[in-house]
């Protein structure tokens, strides 16, 4: 099994991942915001107060995720994750390494919420496995496609 390292994300991680996103993530970025993958990643990175990267063998960026404020006074944060196709193979290992970060994030943001494209069934199942409440899909985003609101 390849070595996975979790570390604070760098701008270079965004550049590396932008050209190698999973097709579901590209479709979700476009449906939600109309942005290109690189612009969507840059926006998420800039918005976030906490951002991590999973790197395979210390170099290849497998995923970048983070959380940014929705409401600091209410303690609400918006979690997100974007990944390369390698994430589908290494996701369980990454989740195992990153799960303690969820506790860290919840100190700053006791309430987490966002939306996920309903077409990405694997992500919807994974969010439920992590303990998020996943609501029924409803039209959302610039394309008006079905998205699930999820929260914890």
Q: What is the CATH number of the domain that holds 19?
A: 3.40.630.30
Q: Which residues of 80-93 are buried (b: 16+ CB within 10 A; e: fewer)?
A: bbbbbebbeebbeb
**Could you tell me if residue 81 is inside a domain?**
yes
Average pLDDT over residues 75-82: 95
Q: Which two tokens stand for residue 142?
A: 């610039």
β-partners of residue 21 are none
β-partners of residue 61 are 55
**Highest mean pLDDT range out of 51-55, 101-105, 121-125, 140-144?**
140-144
**Could you tell me if residue 92 is inside a domain?**
yes
> What domain range includes position 33?
4-113
DSSP state of 2: -
- Domain count within the chain: 1
**Could you tell me if residue 144 is inside a domain?**
no
Q: What is the pLDDT of residues 24-65, one digit of tens each?
A: 999 999 999 999 999 999 999 999 999 999 998 867 999 999
20, 22, 28, 34: CA torsion to nearest 10: 20
pLDDT at 59: 73
Q: What is the pLDDT of residues 100-118, one digit of tens each?
A: 778 889 999 999 999 999 9
**Could you tell me if residue 71 is inside a domain?**
yes
Q: Strand 76-83 relative to strand 111-117: parallel, antiparallel, unpaired?
A: parallel
Q: What percent of the chain has pLDDT over 70?
A: 94
**Could you tell me if residue 47 is inside a domain?**
yes
Beta strands in the chain (DSSP E): 4-8, 50-56, 60-71, 76-83, 111-117, 133-134, 138-140, 145-151
Q: Which two tokens stand for residue 35?
A: 């942005």
């Amino acid at each position: 099994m390849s070595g996975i390292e979790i570390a604070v994300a760098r701008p270079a991680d965004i550049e590396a991942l932008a050209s190698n996103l999973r097709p579901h993530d590209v479709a979700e970025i476009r449906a939600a915001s109309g942005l290109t993958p690189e612009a969507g990643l840059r926006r998420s990175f800039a918005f976030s107060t906490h951002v991590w990267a999973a790197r395979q063998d210390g170099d290849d960026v497998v995923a970048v995720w983070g959380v940014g404020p929705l409401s600091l006074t209410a303690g609400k944060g918006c979690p997100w994750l974007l990944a390369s196709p390698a994430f589908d193979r290494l996701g369980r290992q990454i989740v195992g390494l990153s799960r303690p970060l969820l506790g860290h994030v919840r100190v700053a943001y006791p309430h987490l919420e966002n939306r996920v494209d309903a077409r990405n069934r694997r992500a919807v199942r994974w969010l439920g496995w992590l303990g998020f409440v996943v609501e029924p899909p409803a039209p959302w985003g610039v394309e008006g496609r079905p998205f699930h609101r999820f929260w914890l």
